[in-house]
Amino acid sequence: MKKRPIALLLVLALLGVGVFVFADRNTSRAEYGDITLNRHAEKAGMPPVVFPHWFHRIRFKCKVCHPAIFEMRAGSNDITMKKIVNKQFCGRCHNGTISWPPLYCDRCHAGKSDITIPKARGFVK
């Protein structure tokens, strides 16, 4: 009879903490179609780049960037910061005229080494 309030206490405390933890709305997560770029980033001591396709797709049609700026095959674009600053690749827009300039490292270098991008359901290579 005496143990019951303690059990109840524990359950309620856990529930309270659970709500506290899982209601965190500010957790960012990867989306379907996101691309990680890590050929040079981590070797140079920077976190991998996460490219959000969806965000750009709302604003531009595919043909704006493909294939003139980015070849449509993973691994076929050798992107470096130097090239971006020289207005190639991302720098075609991210130069302060069409979009913000490449001065805010953590906006793109936002990935962790073990980042997982959601894969398509069903057929996955």
Binding region for other proteins (CB under 8 A): 5-6, 8-13, 15-20, 22-29, 31-33, 50, 52-55, 57-64, 66-67, 72-73, 92-93, 96-101, 103-104, 106-107, 110, 120-125
- Per DSSP, the residues of 85-110 read HTT-GGGGTBTTTSB--TT-HHHH--
d(CA 114, CA 120): 18
d(CA 94, CA 27): 25
User: Taking the complex as a whole, how short is the minimal distance between the CB of residue 49 and other proteins, in angstroms?
Assistant: 11
Q: Which candidate, 50, 59, 49, places its Cα nearest to that of 29? A: 50
Cβ closer to other proteins: 18 or 39?
A: 18
Cβ closer to other proteins: 39 or 98?
A: 98
User: Taking the complex as a whole, how short is the minimal distance between the CB of residue 31 and other proteins, in angstroms?
Assistant: 5
Cβ closer to other proteins: 3 or 43?
A: 3
Q: Which two tokens stand for residue 33?
A: 């179609």
Cβ closer to other proteins: 22 or 114?
A: 22
User: Taking the complex as a whole, how short is the minimal distance between the CB of residue 68 and other proteins, in angstroms?
Assistant: 9
H/E stretch holding 15 reads: helix 3-22
